[in-house]
Structure 1
Amino acid sequence: MLAIVSAILFFIAFLINAADISTNDTFTSTNVMLIGLTVLALHLAGVGSGWNVRGRRR
């Protein structure tokens, strides 16, 4: 799920950069790309993958 969110953020950053859309200082293509990289790093770290049950009964 987080990988899909990061892909969407990368696409938004690409559109902002390719269309040369003027945005405010907070919502630049670089900032959106960095948020996407953060979400991708969280995905690779295993955050958001669901609950892991360690104590299974046999």
Structure 2
Amino acid sequence: MFALAAALLFLLALIFEIAGVAVGSVVTVTTLGTAGLLCVALHLMGVGAGWSLKR
């Protein structure tokens, strides 16, 4: 799940970088990239792994 979130954050960062868009002073390309790297790190640590539906 964190890998999907990281991919979406990196996609937004790429689009913002290409379009030259910034959403205020808080959400920038650097912020989105850092959040994406955090999600990748959590994914590699195994956080969120092993979720399953129990019957």
TM-score class, shorter-chain normalisation, is 0.7 to 0.9
**Going by fraction, where is helix more abundant, 1 or 2?**
2
Give, as a single letter, the amino acid of the residue that structure 1 aligns with 2:44: L
Moved over 6 A (4+): none
CA RMSD of aligned residues (A): 1.2
Q: Identity of paired residues, percent?
A: 39
Q: Unpaired segments of 5 or more residues in structure 1?
A: 52-58
Q: Unpaired segments of 5 or more residues in structure 2?
A: none
For 1:5, the equivalent position in structure 2 comes to 5
Q: How many residues align?
A: 51
For 1:49, the equivalent position in structure 2 comes to 49
Could you state the TM-score of these two structures normalised by the residue count of structure 2?
0.84
